[in-house]
């Protein structure tokens, strides 16, 4: 029926990645989001080389407004805000990615177990998910900080705890849906292992919405991290955007730049991640664009 050029077997995996990136840059949201995220990642990596000052270096001028010497001004103890923001990108992105990946690992595992094996496993795990969704995570984090003091790994754990149920529900839903498809029955009849079915047959078909969710999770994680920093709960040995906002509270009327620039950085990152997720969503998988689509 449909005549298409034969794809060269060696290039398929690589070329599929390449087309995915190509499609991504073809969507408006995806392109803008990707560019923002790339810029942020470069900022985080290159911070030590491009920042004019180290984060703890104090200058003689405190609360200096933005100028040629201090692009974004200085804070109350005379640190260069521009340098702080560059270093802050490191911790914010690390928390965002770290928490999102941790949530993916925990939520993904539980979602797969509940969605694929069903039965009693499903009942128990779904209750666990609901339990975590109802827990007041912020309160727990406050208690944990009071007990153990604040640290970076605690922060990541806390944020991951808050977001993993969403990931678990999504993965669960995908597995519930896909396990009923006929190709899964075919794999079972061919005696392929459960491991193979879960990771080789189902996972690639579930990947797209999961990746979208991870991007959204990362943006939520960054917001939660900022919120915790704003409450003064972030790791004091690291610079983070939320922490900068926390300090800025007291200088709202005298030094606007202390709150505006960190706030803008958080906004930009969250917008970038959401646009990226939108772009991923918009890329229709190759089936419908290459095939006949909805035409009978």
Partner 1 sequence: MMPPILRLNNVSRSYKTRNPDGWGSTVLRAAADVTLDVYEGQTLAIVGESGSGKSTLAKLLLMLHPPSSGDVEFRGASLAKLDKRRRSEYRRQVQAVFQDPSSSLNPQMTVEQTLGYVVRRHDLVSDADQRGFLLRQLESVGLEPADHYLTRYPHQLSGGQQQRIAIARAMMLEPKVIIADEPLSSLDVSIQAQVLQLMLDLRTRTNVGFVIISHDLAAMQSIADVTAVMYRGRIVEIGKDVYDKPAHPYTRLLLDARLASNPRHGRIRAAAATKTPTVRSVRLEGGCSFRDRCPYAVEICATSEPVLRPVGAGETKAACHRADEFSA
Partner 2 sequence: MSTAPSAPLLRVSDLKVHFRVADRLVRAVDGVEFEINAGECVGVVGESGSGKSTLVRAISRLMPNLPLDEVSGNVAFEGRDIFAMNDRELRALRRSRGFSMIFQDPLGYLNPTQRVGRQIAEALSPDGRGRPDRVRVQELLDEVGFPDPARVARRFPHELSGGMRQRVMIAIALASDPKLLFADEPTTALDATVQLQVLETLYRLHKERNMAVAIITHDLGVVAEMCDRVYVMQTGKILETASTVDLFEKPQHPYSARLVSLSTHRLHGAGGPE
Residue of 146, 185, 268, 284 that binds partner 1 (CB under 8 A)? 185
Closest contact distance (angstroms) between CB of 123 and partner 1 is 14
The set of residues, in sequence order, having a beta carbon less than 8 Å from that of 157 and lying 6+ positions away, is 102
Work out which of 22, 26, 65, 291 binds partner 2, going by CB under 8 A: 291
Sole binder of partner 1 in the list 60, 134, 153, 191 (CB under 8 A)? 191
Look at residues 251, 235, 253 and name the one whose alpha carbon lies nearest to residue 94. 235
Kindly give, in sequence order, each residue whose CB lies less than 8 Å from that of residue 9, ignoring residues fewer than 6 positions away.
Answer: none
Asked if 296 is part of the footprint of partner 2 (rule: CB under 8 A), the reply reads yes
φ/ψ of 79, rounded to 5, equals -85, 150
Stretch that binds partner 1, among 22-30, 74-82, 102-110, 186-194 (CB under 8 A): 186-194
- What residues numbered 250-289 form the site for partner 1, per CB under 8 A? 286-287
The 8-class DSSP code of residue 197 comes to I
CA–CA dist 268, 57 (Å, integer): 26
Residue 157 exposed, middle or buried by CB count within 10 Å (0-12, 13-18, 19+): middle
Q: Spell out, one character per residue from 28 to 57, where the chain touches partner 1: x when CB under 8 A holds, - when not.
A: ------------------------------
* Residue 80, beta-bridge partner list: 74
290 binds partner 2 (CB under 8 A): yes
Binding site for partner 1 (CB under 8 A): 1-2, 4, 6-9, 12, 181-183, 185-193, 196, 200-201, 204-205, 286-287, 290-291
């Amino acid at each position: 029926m449909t005549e298409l050029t034969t794809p060269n077997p060696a290039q398929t995996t690589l070329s599929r990645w390449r087309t995915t990136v190509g499609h991504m840059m073809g969507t408006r949201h995806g392109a803008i989001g990707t560019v923002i995220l790339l810029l942020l990642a470069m900022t985080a990596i290159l911070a030590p080389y491009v920042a004019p000052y180290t984060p703890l270096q104090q200058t003689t001028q405190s609360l200096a407004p933005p100028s040629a010497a201090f692009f974004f001004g200085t804070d109350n103890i005379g640190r260069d805000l521009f340098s702080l923001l560059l270093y802050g990108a490191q911790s914010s992105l690390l928390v965002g990615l770290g928490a999102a990946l941790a949530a993916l690992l925990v939520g993904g595992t539980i979602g797969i177990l509940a969605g694929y094996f069903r039965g009693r496993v499903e009942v128990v795990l779904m209750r666990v998910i609901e339990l975590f969704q109802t827990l007041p995570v912020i309160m727990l984090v406050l208690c944990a900080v009071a007990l153990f003091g604040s640290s970076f790994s605690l922060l990541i754990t806390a944020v991951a705890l808050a977001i993993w149920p969403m990931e678990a529900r999504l993965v669960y839903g995908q597995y519930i849906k896909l396990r009923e498809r006929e190709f899964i029955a075919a794999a079972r009849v061919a005696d392929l292992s459960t491991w193979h079915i879960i990771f080789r047959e189902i996972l690639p078909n579930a990947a797209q919405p999961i990746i979208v969710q991870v991007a959204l999770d990362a943006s939520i994680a960054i917001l939660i991290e900022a919120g915790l920093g704003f409450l003064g709960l972030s790791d004091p040995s690291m610079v983070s955007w939320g922490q900068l906002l926390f300090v800025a509270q007291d200088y709202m009327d005298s030094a606007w730049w202390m709150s505006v620039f960190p706030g803008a950085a958080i906004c930009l990152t969250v917008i970038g991640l959401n646009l990226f997720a939108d772009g991923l969503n918009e890329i229709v998988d190759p089936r419908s664009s290459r095939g006949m689509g909805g035409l009978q």
